[in-house]
Amino acid sequence: MKIIGIVTGLFIVSASLGAQTPVYLDETKPIEDRVEDALGRMTLEEKIAMIHAQSKFSSPGVQRLGIPEIWTTDGPHGIRAEVRWDEWVQAGWTNDSCVAFPALTCLAATWNEEMAALYGKSIGEEARYREKDVLLGPGVNIYRTPLNGRNFEYMGEDPYLAGTMVVPYVRGVQSNGVAACVKHYALNNHEVNRHNTNVIVDDRTLYEIYLPAFKAAVQEGGAWAIMGSYNLYKDMHCCHNEYTLDRILKGEWGFDGVVISDWGGTHNTDQAIANGLDMEFGTWTNGLHNGITNSYDSYFLAGPYIEKIRKGEIGTEELDEKVRRVLRLAYRTVMDRTRPLGSLCSEAHYAAARKIAGEGIVLLKNDGGLLPMEIHDGSKILVVGENAIKMMTVGGGSSSLKVQREILPLDGIRERFGDKAEIVYERGYVGDVTGEYNGVTTGQDLSESRSPEQLIADAVEAAADADYVIFVGGLNKSDHQDCEDADRTELGLPYGQDDVIEALAAVTDRLVVVNVSGNAVAMPWIDDVPAVLQAWYIGSEAGHAIADVLSGDVNPSGKLPFTFPERLEDVPAHIFGDYTGVASRDTVDIEYKDGIYVGYRWTDMQKKTKPLFAFGHGLSYTEFEYGKPVIDRKEMTSDGTVTVSVRIANTGDREGKETVQMYVGDRKSSLPRPLKELKGFRKVSLAPGESTVVTFTVDEDDLAFFDPDRHEWVAEPGVFDVYIASASDDVRGKVSFELK
């Protein structure tokens, strides 16, 4: 008897060995050879077992062959706490806390690919240390309505921005030997009726708006996994959809990874076999509804599948292809013995979280230069608002986390300014006093006995002699706010916060509003408040990052990844009435009547209405001067490019970062097109008085639209305008060229 290999602690033993090591264990062989060798050794039962779950978050390997289990974990902002094998109840571990990184809206707001790479690498290290093989994230669904409860997990309204930011995130995660599972593919743009919404969308809109970020994750990022979404498209659930999975993802894009169902997203064995699903995960008997426990052999891709094969109703061609993909995933992750070991809750990870958060916070308004705060001995700072003291890492759905620590905004302000200033806190309003999700509790006592009127009166009284009043409010992660499986019911702030802000603004002109949310909110008080920060859900280092920006230790450089409308009635998804927000048990058809005109593509065309804050907007504590853009040629041939350059100078008195945005517009087209579309951006850091030249290259792909009749991307000859901008509504220069 001779030991021929060791795989994750399993000894593979053979009695016959004069033979060489099996190819599937020989790491010198190409992965595809190893996949075929392992596949050829597997029984039918072993193959079926590999394509469905064996527990809430794992699928079985093949113990007989030394092929390990594959373990998944929720993300995309941190590594979820362990749950019991067959229940959502916490497992009660004491070593499963994590670092909470900023929500992906904040990452997108950095407009910085280096931050995305740092994020991916850091969260991938935490996943690897916890021995996870698949991170269920990032999410890149498009921000179509500000009521979507899950927008905070995504990267904004623009496919180019989301596609550019997702690539380094995916690469960073996978550098640790952990697969990124990009979600939710596709057209999951609201949460109400998410299991039974049938999206009706034309091909052009699908390809131009809702697919590009997924395509970039696959073709540029090299993602090893994709998660299907809950909703339907063409009356077919997206976890087993002939069009999105077989034709587009695996056919047109050449995706060679695994398609994983969202938990309970599988509904039909025949469709799951035929339409691109590779691994089925879920809850209870059929992955969706309540039923018996430990029922994984009853899944659609389990017992029902193997019975069809045994009865001769179907062959094994599809099964073998699914298993190939799962084996390929295993060799890339759990069977790659060269992958790094990872690290958990390291100071480097906290530093990364703080850096990303600081760079993603957006300075929306700063009249009179109220910020950064200038604090002297004896100054008084009043902090108002429940979000200053409420943990935001717990709640919101599957992205809820169990953190090692979370620095609250009030604590960060006290730490930064408390040596000089008196820091006073007033509640102002009562929102969500709970602090529990899926068995993880914050341990906070947020109970309050004062009436709403008394809370406001106490805050106003304390504000009278304050040098600064900082209101920290916004949304939270309870139902019907920023939360999975529920959408918001209104654009306005909840819990009577507008009344608090207006009362404070009436007694002080030193008011700063810090909005903590993953969505746009209405701001009826905007004219009365001199300074506003958009602070997002920024994780473990929230308090530090907010204090960094308030103090000026960090010069804000975030830019909005989506439009803030003044009213819900200004959003095309609501203008055309195709978002109802009404729960239904029946299949609900939702037609995307806004088409390609999402976000700034719509607001650019409006003459009577303007956004509250435009896509790409974000101020700084310094000033940047844009020179006149210069183009290297006035004509582009079909096999060429044009180069556009612009000089940017920091004309202020402190170092800062500016994101230069490039949009392209087609003057005349056979199909309607937006005024302009984002096709490039560059973030630069400049010292006072320093300048640099930012250069963009425009190629034919940047000029193309998707022609649904020809089913291909088309760049028509004609004149194109290149806009250099600081925001979508702040164009600093324009040059033109002709495509011959």
Task: Name residues whose C-beta falls within 8 Å of residue 432's C-beta, 6 or more positions apart in sequence.
Answer: 386, 390, 446, 476, 478, 481
Residue tagged 């599809």 (tokens): 318
The answer to whether residues 525 and 501 touch, using CB atoms and an 8 Å cutoff, is: yes
* Rounded Cα gap, residues 344 and 363, in angstroms: 32
Rounded to whole angstroms, the Cα distance separating 277 from 491 reads 37
User: Is 203 one of the catalytic residues?
Assistant: no
Instruction: For residues 531 and 501, give the distance between their C-alpha atoms in angstroms, rounded to a whole number.
Output: 12
Beta bridge pairs of residue 426: 384
Alpha-carbon distance values, 223 to 169, 256, 269, 333, 475 (Å): 10, 9, 26, 12, 32
CB 379 within 8 A of CB 577: no
**CA–CA gap between residue 665 and residue 157 (Å, rounded):** 18
- 96, 262, 604, 702: the active-site residue: 262
Cα 140 to Cα 45, 117, 483, 685: the distances in Å are: 36, 16, 16, 27
Rounded to whole angstroms, the Cα distance separating 624 from 656 reads 9
Task: Give the C-alpha separation, 121 to 101, whole Å.
Answer: 12
Residue with tokens 């017992």: 303
Q: State how far the alpha carbon of 383 is from the alpha carbons of 389, 437, 472, 728, in Å.
A: 10, 27, 7, 33
CA geometry: angle at 730 spanning 682 and 557, to 5°?
A: 45
User: How far apart, in whole angstroms, are the C-alpha atoms of residue 464 and residue 508?
Assistant: 7
Q: Which residues are catalytic?
A: 262
